[in-house]
């Protein structure tokens, strides 16, 4: 398994994303990229411009869910597709990041699954042997 990445797991009527990284911020970024990859292939997006996203949460799990939902908001409201993520601030209860990508172009970006929201159902954020692992269920 690579140092950082994401994959999917089956959940009845929904989709689960599992992500990992050597740091918690890397795992958060991979989780968001996994969510975005369900919607539009990140490789089809060019990092032409950025959008800022901020989130807060009292726990790691709450921070993750709020972060992912803020990312989804940018995609939904601005029709913005994401290629990469750069954290400007990553603290225990708040994050501030730049989503790099471009406006959705239906001619170039093939739409996949509609993701409504990240949920608290079975959410996990944990460190095991120096690696951060995330599991989150998405409402699709």
At residue 7, the pLDDT reads 96
* Domain CATH number, residue 98: 3.55.10.10
Q: How far apart are the first and last CA of the chain?
A: 27
Q: What is the pLDDT of residue 13?
A: 80
Whole-number pLDDT of residue 128? 93
What's the number of domains the chain is made of? 1
Range(s) of the domain holding residue 43: 5-139
Which residue shows structure tokens 């969510």?
35
Give the pLDDT score at 110.
87
Q: Six-digit token pair at 5?
A: 């990445």
Residues (pLDDT < 50) of the chain are: none
Q: Are 32 and 42 in contact (CB under 8 A)?
A: no
Helix (H) or strand (E) holding 55: strand 49-56
């Amino acid at each position: 398994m690579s140092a950082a990445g994401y994959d999917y797991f089956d959940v009845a009527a929904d989709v689960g994303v599992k992500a990992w990284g050597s740091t918690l911020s890397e795992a958060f970024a991979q989780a968001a990229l996994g969510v975005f990859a369900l919607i539009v292939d990140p490789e089809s997006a060019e990092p032409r411009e950025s959008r800022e996203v901020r989130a807060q949460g009292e726990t790691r799990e709450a921070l993750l869910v709020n972060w992912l939902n803020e990312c989804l908001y940018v995609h939904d409201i601005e029709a913005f597709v994401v290629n990469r993520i750069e954290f400007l601030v990553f603290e225990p209860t708040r994050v501030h990041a730049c989503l790099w990508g471009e406006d959705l172009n239906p001619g170039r970006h093939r739409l996949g699954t509609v993701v409504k929201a990240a949920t608290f159902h079975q959410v996990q954020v944990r460190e095991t042997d120096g690696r951060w692992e995330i599991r989150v269920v998405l409402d699709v």
